[in-house]
Amino acid sequence: MGPAKNEVPSPKNFLLKHSKEPKLPDRKRDEGRKRLLTIPSVPHVKDHPLMGIQSKKNFINTNAANVIMGVAKKPQPICVDTRQGNKYLLETSGLVPKYINKKDYGLTPKYVIKRNEEVKRAQEEYDAYVKETLRQKAMKRLSDEERESLLQGLKKNWEEVHHEFQGLSVEIDTLPKKIHKERLESQMKQLEHDINIIEKHKIIYIANK
């Protein structure tokens, strides 16, 4: 509470003009001298350039020989798609069957073959692990007939519990009636959960304990 206990700035330390602008570092005198030394000096007025230097090479004959002996460049095939003459390279247009002429066209890439082999090897290792685990735990697999019989039995039990639930009185005014209703609802919920699990999984294992 009360005024903030901060030191009041002195009126002598007022903000000066251009005080917050960035300042460049001071220029060193040696840098100017080094720069002057690297610049070539101006030639003297009495210095004369070298003149009269001529080459004995016959540029006309040399150019003619290069043209005669050189291999003519093949024109790049182009494609014109409009009557105004708009043209572009035929190779990058997608109209040339470029990829079907490759040696490896239609063949499975090596990285795909390698990945398929790794997936197959991992699946074999997993199957071996599952078989070994089943052998150690002595788990039994339900046949299709047993699974269907179990499923029908659960559905029959659910119908019986549901029929009993439908026979309850509308008014639940006592504690035994309330407990009985909750027990039937719990049984129906558990039976529905079991039915959904069996219908979802085609292969079921049972551990022999």
Q: Using the Cα atoms of residue 83, residue 89, residue 90 and residue 92 in order, give the sign of their dihedral.
A: negative
Rounded-to-integer distance, Cα 201 and Cα 142, Å: 11
Cβ count within 10 A of residue 206: 10
Quick one: pLDDT at residue 33? Answer: 65
Q: Using the Cα atoms of residue 129, residue 135, residue 138 and residue 144 in order, give the sign of their dihedral.
A: positive
Rounded-to-integer distance, Cα 137 and Cα 129, Å: 12
Residues sharing a CB contact under 8 Å with residue 98, sequence separation 6 or more, in sequence order:
91
Rounded-to-integer distance, Cα 156 and Cα 149, Å: 11
Closest CA to 143 of 194, 205, 208: 205
Residue 178 three-state SS: helix
Does the pLDDT of residue 14 top 60, yes or no?
A: yes
**pLDDT tens across 140-182, in order?**
778 888 888 888 999 999 999 888 888 888 777 888 888 888 9
This prediction's pTM: 0.35
Quick one: pLDDT at residue 31? Answer: 63
Closest CA to 172 of 184, 185, 181: 181
Compute the average pLDDT of residues 28-54: 74
Quick one: pLDDT at residue 9? Answer: 75
Phi and psi at residue 154, to the nearest 5°: -65, -40
Residues sharing a CB contact under 8 Å with residue 199, sequence separation 6 or more, in sequence order:
151
Residues 150 and 142 sit within 8 Å (Cβ to Cβ): yes
Residue 163 tokens read as: 């029929």
